[in-house]
Amino acid sequence: MRRTILGICAGFLLLSGEALAGGKPGPVPHAKAATPAMWTIHGAQGTVYMLGSIHALPKNIKWQTPQLMTALNQADTFVFEVPMNAESRAKAVEYFRQNALLPRGLALPSMFDSEMRSDFRQVVMLTHADPSFVVYMRPWLAALVLEGAATGTDALYPAEGVDNKVYGMAKGRGVTQFRALERDEDQFRLFIKDGHEADEVADLRLVFKDILSNHGADGKPLLDAWVHGDTKAIARLVPENKATTAEFRKAWIEDRNRKWVPQIEAMLNEKHTFFVTVGAAHLVGKTGVPNLLRAAGYRVEGR
Per-residue pLDDT tens over the stretch 102-134: 999 999 999 999 999 999 999 999 988 899 999
**CB of 256 within 8 A of CB of 189?**
no
pLDDT of residue 21: 41
* pLDDT above 80: residue 277: yes
Question: Hey, is 61 helix, strand or coil?
Answer: strand
The two beta strands, 177-180 and 77-80, are parallel
Q: Which helix (H) or strand (E) holds 212?
A: helix 197-213
pLDDT of residue 243: 57
Q: Give the CA count within 13 Å in the CB-facing half-sphere of 156.
A: 23
**pLDDT > 70 fraction of the chain, expressed in percent and rounded:** 84
* pLDDT above 60: residue 242: no
Domain boundaries, the chain: 3-20+33-302
- pLDDT category, 196, cuts 50, 70, 90? confident
* pLDDT above 80: residue 229: yes
Residues 6+ apart with CB under 8 A from 35: 63, 65, 227, 228, 229
End-to-end Cα spacing for the chain: 19
Q: Which helix (H) or strand (E) holds 178?
A: strand 177-180
The DSSP bridge partners found for residue 275 are 49, 78
Query: What's the whole-number average pLDDT of the chain?
Result: 86
* pLDDT above 90: residue 215: no
CA 181 to chain centre: 14
